[in-house]
């Protein structure tokens, strides 16, 4: 089962042709890693999957992106799409409010007011993000008081609160130390059971450790895509070979 089917996708930022004829299938309930050197288009592709590129001025997109068979650039409610496709960003971005309010934000935005339901979702989301035990006694204190790694797990909890089907992660550990990174990776191993995960990462070791499928991008093109073990151990393309072996990038 494929969650996303991207076919012949081209994306332009003004005159800059950032994604060139990308076709890619992203399977359900697996972790797909997007790797490649800076500026290769991997983050841009990630952001087409929940239409975050809409926020950028002057973006033009051709080709199509199907989510559960439905073209998300067709006649679709972007807010609904983003509820089903959650996102975690490179730098933890907790909102300037309490831990509780951070996790409840998305549901409150949908008009949910029932305190008991909110409490339940907040607890469940924080548990799923392996943060509950650390914060259960200070749910009402500011989210900024948490460490970087905790803040990122809070952002994951916030994404989970909407019960999405997919979680997009844009270099989620690049701002974190190795111990916090390890915790997030452990967490992802849990999350893959319930969610489809697409992760952009600069760390090849991370891609190797956590992903089932790997896609290698190079100057806006998808060079190679397959099982992670194959892409890393028997790459078909010389450029992939060069990148995964650390010769460049």
Partner 1 sequence: MLQDKRIFNRDTQDKLLLAAIWGSAAITILFLLWVVWHILSNGLAYVSWEFITSAYTRIGEASGIWAMIVSTIYMVGLSLGIAAPIGIMTAIYLTEYAKPGSKIVKTIRFCTESLAGIPSIVYGLFGMTFFVTTLGLGFSILAGSLTLAMLILPVLIRTTEEALLAVPMSYREGGYALGSSKIYTIYRLILPSAMPGIVTSVILSIGRVIGESAPVFLTAGMVTQIPQSVLDSGRTLTVHLYKLTQELFTQHEWDQAYATATVLIVLVLILNLATKFIATRINKAS
**How far is C-alpha 22 from the geometric centre of its chain's CA atoms?**
18
Among 57, 116, 137, 246, binds partner 1 (CB under 8 A): 57
Q: How many positions of this chain bind partner 1 (CB under 8 A)?
A: 27
- The reply to whether 11 sits near partner 1 by the rule CB under 8 A is no
Q: Which is nearer to partner 1, 97 or 204 (CB)?
A: 97
Q: Which of residues 150-209 bind partner 1 (CB under 8 A)?
A: 155, 158-159, 161-162
Q: Which tokens is 59 given? A: 């973006």
- The reply to whether 79 sits near partner 1 by the rule CB under 8 A is yes
Q: Which is nearer to partner 1, 95 or 132 (CB)?
A: 95
Q: How far is the CB of 131 from partner 1 (least distance, A)?
A: 17
The burial class, CB within 10 Å (0-12 / 13-18 / 19+), for 202 is middle
Q: Are 32 and 215 spatial neighbours (Cβ–Cβ below 8 Å)?
A: yes
Q: How far is the CB of 57 from partner 1 (least distance, A)?
A: 7
Q: Are 173 and 152 spatial neighbours (Cβ–Cβ below 8 Å)?
A: yes
Q: How far is the CB of 221 from partner 1 (least distance, A)?
A: 26
Torsion of CA 126, 67, 54, 17, to 10 degrees: 120
Among 9, 32, 65, 86, binds partner 1 (CB under 8 A): 86
CA separation, residue 79 to residues 48, 82, 110 (Å): 14, 5, 10
Q: Which of residues 92-151 bind partner 1 (CB under 8 A)?
A: 93, 95-97, 105-106, 108-110
- The reply to whether 238 sits near partner 1 by the rule CB under 8 A is no
- The reply to whether 65 sits near partner 1 by the rule CB under 8 A is no
**How far is C-alpha 16 from the geometric centre of its chain's CA atoms?**
24
Q: Largest alpha-carbon pair distance within the chain?
A: 57
Phi/psi zone of residue 22: left (φ > 0), alpha (ψ -120 to 50 degrees), beta?
beta
* Choices 48-56, 121-129, 207-215, 233-241 (CB under 8 A): range interacting with partner 1: 48-56
Q: Which is nearer to partner 1, 47 or 183 (CB)?
A: 47
Q: How many CB atoms sit inside 10 A of residue 197's CB?
A: 24
Backbone angles phi, psi at 166, to 5 degrees: -125, 145
Structure letter (DSSP) for residue 52 = G
Among 18, 35, 52, 215, binds partner 1 (CB under 8 A): 52
- Which positions lie near partner 1, rule CB under 8 A? 50, 52, 55, 57, 79-83, 86-87, 89, 91, 93, 95-97, 105-106, 108-110, 155, 158-159, 161-162
């Amino acid at each position: 089962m494929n969650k996303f089917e991207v076919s012949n996708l081209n994306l332009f930022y003004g005159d800059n042709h950032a994604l060139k004829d990308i076709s890619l299938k992203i399977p359900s309930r697996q972790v797909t890693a997007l790797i490649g050197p800076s500026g290769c288009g991997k983050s841009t592709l990630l952001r087409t999957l929940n239409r975050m590129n809409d926020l950028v001025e002057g973006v033009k997109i051709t080709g199509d992106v199907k989510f559960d068979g439905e073209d998300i650039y067709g006649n679709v409610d972007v807010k609904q799409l983003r509820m089903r496709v959650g996102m975690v960003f490179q730098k933890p971005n907790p909102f300037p409010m309490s831990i509780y309010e951070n996790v409840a934000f998305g549901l409150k935005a949908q008009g949910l007011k029932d305190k008991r339901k909110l409490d339940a979702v907040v607890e469940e989301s924080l548990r799923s993000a392996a943060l509950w035990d650390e914060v259960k006694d200070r749910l009402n204190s500011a989210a900024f008081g948490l460490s970087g790694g905790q803040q990122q797990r809070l952002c994951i909890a916030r994404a989970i609160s909407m019960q999405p089907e997919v979680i997009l992660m844009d270099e989620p550990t690049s701002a974190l130390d190795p111990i916090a990174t390890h915790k997030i990776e452990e967490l992802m191993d849990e999350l893959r059971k319930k969610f489809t995960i697409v992760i952009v990462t600069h760390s090849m070791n991370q891609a190797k450790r956590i992903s089932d499928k790997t896609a290698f991008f190079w100057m806006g093109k998808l060079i190679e895509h397959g099982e992670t073990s194959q892409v890393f151990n028997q790459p078909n393309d010389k450029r992939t070979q060069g990148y995964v072996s650390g010769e460049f990038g």
